[in-house]
Amino acid sequence: MKLTGVALAAGRGVRLAPWTDTTPKPLLPVGSTTLLDRALHWLVAAGCEELIVNARHLSAQFPPHLATHASRIPLTLSLEHGDLETAGGLRQMGPLLGGSDVLLHNGDACHDLPPEGFMAQLEPLIQQGFQSVLAVVPVDPDHADFALVGTRLHPKGAAGRPVRFMGVAWLAHPMLEQIPAVGSLGPWYHRRAAAVSIAAGLGGVLHEGFFVDAGTPADLERARQMMTPSESP
């Protein structure tokens, strides 16, 4: 099955104002590159055959930036004209995705998850029947999104290892018709975690390395400290 990489980059980045008053959050610098370029580099390294970036806030800055992005695969910009949030933004891309599976990367996720390692762990989960899989990191129970039991995610508070979603997800193509046309992907993920069957459930790939959601000034600084120029793509 064809795999398309999607970088979710339409967020306003309110908590990072005043920087995001003039620069889209995904175009803020981290190390020797930007948050968005890190995401795109990761998706290419994971084996995606095409790339799509969605944009809304200060969207006029994306075309010239993407024109400088060195990629050996096709890259398309999906512009949003309303507050669709993550699920709605992905649904809008439907005609661009064709019959492709999707590898999602949040535009503000910074991590050291090896793309080849994620894909190697993803394959047996697909063979088990999972149609949606999240990359997760271990956290204390108060900060958990889910509980991981083996390779399956369950609702927060269930018996299992407390984990947090780290902004990387794989969705089989049939899942794209099930996500909401407007709103966040978060509640949809949580509903799947409560499902009974594997096909309707949510798989989990555990990463025990570095991850930060660079959505606040403090977290952006953490990302900049961890992602030295030598670690940047």
pLDDT in tens, 84-106: 999 999 999 999 999 999 999 99
What pLDDT, on the 0 to 100 scale, is given for residue 31?
Answer: 86
Segments in the chain below pLDDT 50: 229-233
Q: How far apart are CA 229 and CA 58, in angstroms?
A: 27
pLDDT in tens, 130-170: 999 999 999 999 999 999 999 999 999 999 999 999 999 99
What pLDDT, on the 0 to 100 scale, is given for residue 233?
Answer: 42
Quick count: other Cβ atoms within 10 Å of Cβ 133? Answer: 26
Burial class of residue 77, CB neighbours in 10 A (0-12, 13-18, 19+): middle
Tokens of residue 127, six digits: 């063979």
Nearest to 37 by CA among 73, 70, 85: 70
Cα-atom radius of gyration of the chain, to the nearest Å?
A: 17
Are the C-beta atoms of residues 181 and 91 closer than 8 Å to each other? yes
What pLDDT, on the 0 to 100 scale, is given for residue 136?
Answer: 99
Which amino acid would we find at residue 207?
A: H
What pLDDT, on the 0 to 100 scale, is given for residue 228?
Answer: 59
Are the C-beta atoms of residues 5 and 105 closer than 8 Å to each other? yes
- Domains along the chain? 3-139+155-189 (3.90.550.10)
**Whether this model's pTM surpasses 0.85:** yes
